[in-house]
Chain A
Amino acid sequence: MEHLLDRDAAQQNPVDFDHHSAGHATNWPATFARIRANSPRAWSEHHGGFWLATRFDDVIRIGQQPEYFSAHKDYDPATGKIGGGISIPPLPGLRGVPNETASPEWDGVRTFINRRFSPKSVEAFRAKAQQFAAALIDEVIEKGEFDIVEDFTNPLPALVTMELFGFPLSEWRAFADPFHKIVYTPRDDPFFAETVRGLDYFNQRVAEEVELRRKDPRDDLLGHLANGTIGGAPLDAETIQNLAFNILAGGVDTTTALTSNTLIHLAQNPEDRERLRNDRALLPFAREEFVRYFSPIHALARNVTEDVEVDGWKFRKGERVLLAYSSANRDPDVFEEPERVILDRFPNKHIGFGAGMHRCVGSFLARIMFEAMLNEVLDRIPDYRIDEDRLVRYPTIGNINGCIHIPATFTPGKKVGAKIA
C-alpha cells in the first residue's frame, strides 16, 4: 500500500512539530508542505506524544470514524484530572459540549441545538449582523482609521452571539475578551491562568440568565437551555454550562480570525479586492476559499478508542492524533495551486469546518457574519490600507489562526445612523 506506515520507524524518527510554537505560527505553510512531502503520517514527541495527520485523505477518513477516533473528554472537576478531548495538550477547565462528546451523548446534544443553527434559523440573524456591521463602521468612519480586530471583526461575532443567546448586548466585551485572549496567550504565560479565570464570569452569567428564564421563558438560546429537553429530560447544570461555553467559544473568535485574515489579504491584493467589490455574486465562493486558505481552526485532536488501521496506518488504543485541517486544506493532491487564494475556486472541498460528524454547528451563521462584514467594508471603506508595521498576529496559532491588532486607515465618510441596540 502506497502510504503504509512503519509505526516503529516513525516513532524512532519523530518530527520536531509543535503547533503551539512561535516558529510554527510564522512558518506553518512551509512546515506542513515539508511534512506532507517527507512524512505525512508523523509522530511528534511534544505534549506527551501524538500522531500528526497532514494529508486531506487521512484527516477526512479519521474524522469520519468517530467510533475509533473519539473527541470525548473526561474531566473531573473534583480532581482536575483531564483525559481525551480535542486539544493537545488538554485545555484546563470545562469540557466542550458537543465538541468533546461521543455518541450517544453527541447525538442528543446535536439534536438539541442543530435546529437553532440550521440555515433557515440563522437567516433570521442576517439583518441584525448587517445592522451591527453598519453601526461598528459608523463608530469609526468619520475618523478614517480603526483597528480592524478591536473595532470590527472581534465585536461583530460577539454581538451576534449575544443576540443569539439572549444576553444584553452591552455585555459583549466581558464575554468576548477571555475567549479571544485564551486562544493566543501562551500557556506558560502567567496571564493564561488569569484568562482561564475570566471564563468563570461567563459561567456565572449563564447560570443567572437560565434561572431567570425558568421563571420567565423566552425564545432565545438561554431560554432553550433553561427549558428545553434532551431525551425527554431537562438539561442538568453542568451540561448547560458546557454547552453554553462551547457555543460561545465557537462563536466569538473563529469568524473573527477568518474575517481578519481575509481583510489583510484583500488589502495586500488590490486586484482581488476590486474583483470582489464589483462582483458580490463571487462572495460565497470567495468565502469558502478563505475558510480553506486560512483554516481558522488550525488543528484538533482525536483519541484512539481501540487498535485500528486506516489505509495502512495502524493506531493503538489510547494514542492521540492531531487532525491538521490547515494542512489538509493545502494538500496538493486535492487542491490545485493550494498555496494561492483563487477567489472563484470551485469545486472546493475544504474541511475548514471540520471532518466528519463534528462539523462546525455554527458554520451557517459564520458565513452570514462573514458576508455582513465583507459587504460593509467593501461598500463603505473600500480603500482601507493596513499599517503592516503595527500588524500583530497571534504568537501561537495551534488553536486559532488569528490576529490581535490590524491598524488601518481609509478615506473618511459619513455615518448612516446605524445603532447597535
Chain B
Amino acid sequence: MKVRVDDGLCQGRAMCILACPELFDLSDEDGHASVRQADVPRELEAKIEQAVRGCPEGAIQTY
C-alpha cells in the first residue's frame, strides 16, 4: 500500500496526524499535511485507512 496527500484538497485539518503520526507531517508554513514516505508499512495500514476515512476534505488517497 502507498499513500499520498492531494495538496489541492488538503486544508490542514490535521486529522491525519491524529490517525497516524508515524507517516504524516504538518507544514510549518500553513499546517497542510505531507507524507514522510509513500510506502505504508504493513503494521500502519489500519491507521492509514483511518486517516483516509477521517479526512473531511477527502485529501488522503491510497494506491
Contact = CB atoms under 8 A, between A and B. Distances in A.
B53 A349 contact: yes
A114 B31 contact: yes
B18 A121 contact: no
Interface in A331-381: 346-351, 353, 355-357, 359, 363-364
B57 interface: yes
Contacts of A288: 15, 18
B53 A119 contact: no
12 contacts: A60-B58, A111-B30, A114-B29, A114-B30, A119-B31, A285-B18, A288-B18, A349-B54, A359-B12, A359-B13, A363-B13, A363-B14
B29 A115 contact: yes
B41 interface: no
Interface residues of B, number: 22
Contacts of A111: 30
Interface in A96-134: 110-111, 114-115, 117-121
A118 B27 contact: yes
A118 B28 contact: yes
Nearest first, the 4 closest Cβ-Cβ pairs linking A and B are A347-B54, A349-B56, A359-B11, A114-B30
A364 B13 CA distance: 9
Given A119-B31, A284-B18, A346-B19, A357 B11 contact: yes
Nearest to B49: A347
Contacts of B57: 60, 64, 355-356
Contacts of B28: 115, 118-121
Interface in B27-55: 27-31, 50-51, 53-55
Contact of A118 (B15, B19, B29, B53): B29
Interface in A10-46: none
A60 B30 contact: no
Nearest to A348: B54
Contacts, number: 64
Contacts of B56: 60, 349-351, 355
A23 B18 CA distance: 37
Contacts of A348: 15, 54
Given A119-B26, A288-B15, A349 B31 contact: no
Nearest to A121: B28
Contacts of B29: 114-115, 118
A117 B29 CA distance: 9
B31 to A, nearest CB: 5
B1 interface: no
Contacts of A357: 11
A346 B50 contact: yes
Contact of A349 (B12, B15, B26, B30): B15
Nearest to A351: B56
B30 A118 contact: yes
A60 B9 CA distance: 11
Contacts of B9: 64
Contact of B15 (A114, A120, A347): A347
Given A347-B15, A363-B12, 18 more contacts: A64-B57, A111-B30, A117-B31, A118-B26, A118-B29, A121-B28, A285-B18, A288-B18, A346-B50, A347-B19, A347-B51, A349-B15, A349-B54, A351-B56, A355-B57, A356-B57, A359-B11, A363-B13
A64 B51 CA distance: 19
A346 B26 CA distance: 19
A120 B27 CA distance: 8
B15 A356 contact: no
Contacts of A117: 31
B13 to A, nearest CB: 6
B2 to A, nearest CB: 20
A130 to B, nearest CB: 20
A180 to B, nearest CB: 27
- Which of B9, B12, B27 has the most chain A CB atoms inside 10 A of its CB? B12
